[in-house]
Amino acid sequence: MNITEKILADHAGLKEVQAGQLITAKVDITLANDITGPVAVNEFNKIGVEKVFDKDRVVFVPDHFVPNRDIKSAEQVKQIREFARAQNLTHFFEVGRMGIEHALLPDNGIVTAGDLVIGADSHTCTYGALGAFSTGMGSTDIACAMASGETWLKVPSSVKVEFNGKLNKYVTAKDLILYLIGDIGVDGALYKTLEIGGSTIHELPMDGRFTICNMAIEAGAKNGIIEPDEITKKYLENRSIRPPKFYSSDKDTNYERVIVYNTEEIEPVVAFPHLPENTKPVSKAGDIKIDQAVIGSCTNGRLSDIKAAAEVLKGRKVHKDVRLIVFPATQQIYLEALRAGYIETIIEAGGAVSTPTCGPCLGGHAGILAAGERAISTTNRNFVGRMGHTESEVYLASPYVAAASAIAGRIISPIDL
């Protein structure tokens, strides 16, 4: 079996599982946010049970419309806050202590290696970077798991992807995953496991691994996963609330497909509107003027991302026609970036720094695009109307490219500054 199959088999109480098999499995963590949480709470209340299956394993993170943008969003957060209090949940994150859920949970040790995690958010697949099986589900599925501690699913078939070689200058994990999606398409791994490995990945810090697994869903994958190694173990040391369990794929595992890339052939990548698969090397982007640059989100809001942006912005100024918005993924990352001087650099360059929120990414608040405007963003989706008006455009890129473009007023590589 491969790593995903082993995790699913253990959680289903089975010796082995096979692709296509329907299983019922115990969950380690259920997760919902301020958009999906109220729906889950409503459905939970219909089930007729009084208590969640485990107050330590049901997690609510209000992060999409917080700090609340309007009365409706305030009411939504109020509902899950009151539910969390009534259920005495261990993990409810209030403004000032919250962060973007998919950065907050691993950094706080709430999810760990070997877990089975389901969340009412499609980017729950992020935790595969730890060697966990994690996937997004609908709010009704989450409600049932909140009550029972179990879920059902079909065991996905697996595609193995290897990146081998050294990263070129200014090439990041974001470029690797965009390159992959550009190659196989947004449905290239539909309901499959993307098992990511190779010499490049083995050298990649945790921040980059989270970025890659976060965007597995953008290729249609059920989950993305990276085998735990010493880098994973060091990250989890003195962090995990529960003991991690490290799984690895058997050497004789049969994959549906094996894809191998030479990393040294990859340059910074930009995904053009209106799909993440619509990729081009930044050197072939052409003259694309931008109105806004966004650096942050559950994809690229970690400390190394803020550092990369500050590195490019140091001693430079944001173009007079561009709005640069930077939002660290958690309060702790914000604090560390502040102490390191990155926030000062960003502000001196003319950027605006926001409290942690998903707002700009989903066109919720704190950075909405008007008709005809273009944004370059380190977020994960560039669908029609994703960040505002349906006649706006979103280009996806790494923090290096987004910061350089903010300075130039058009999409460029830092090499061209």
Domain ranges for the chain: 3-242+254-260, 269-416
Q: Among 278, 271, 350, 272, which Cα is nearest to 317's?
A: 350
Q: Do domains 3-242+254-260 and 269-416 have the same CATH topology?
A: yes
Cβ atoms of 116 and 94 within 8 Å: the answer is no
3-242+254-260 CATH, one of 3.30.499.10, 1.10.132.20, 3.30.420.140, 2.40.50.70: 3.30.499.10
Partners of residue 164 on adjacent β-strands: 262
Strand 192-197 to strand 157-164: parallel, antiparallel, or no bridges (unpaired)? parallel
| 3-state DSSP assignment of residue 415 | helix
Top-level class of domain 269-416 = alpha beta
**pLDDT on residue 136:** 97
pLDDT per residue of the chain (417 residues) written in tens, 0 to 9: 999 999 999 999 999 999 999 999 999 999 999 999 999 999 999 999 999 999 999 999 999 999 999 999 999 999 999 999 999 999 999 999 989 999 999 999 999 999 999 999 999 999 999 999 999 999 999 999 999 999 999 999 999 999 999 999 999 999 999 999 999 999 999 999 999 999 999 999 999 999 999 999 999 999 999 999 999 999 999 999 999 999 999 999 989 999 999 999 999 999 999 999 999 999 999 999 999 999 999 999 999 999 999 999 999 999 999 999 999 999 999 999 999 999 999 999 999 999 999 988 899 899 999 999 999 999 999 999 999 999 999 999 999 999 999 999 999 999 999
In our burial notation (b when 16+ CB lie closer than 10 A, e otherwise), range 340-357 reads eebbebbeebbbebbbbb
CA 60 to chain centre: 17
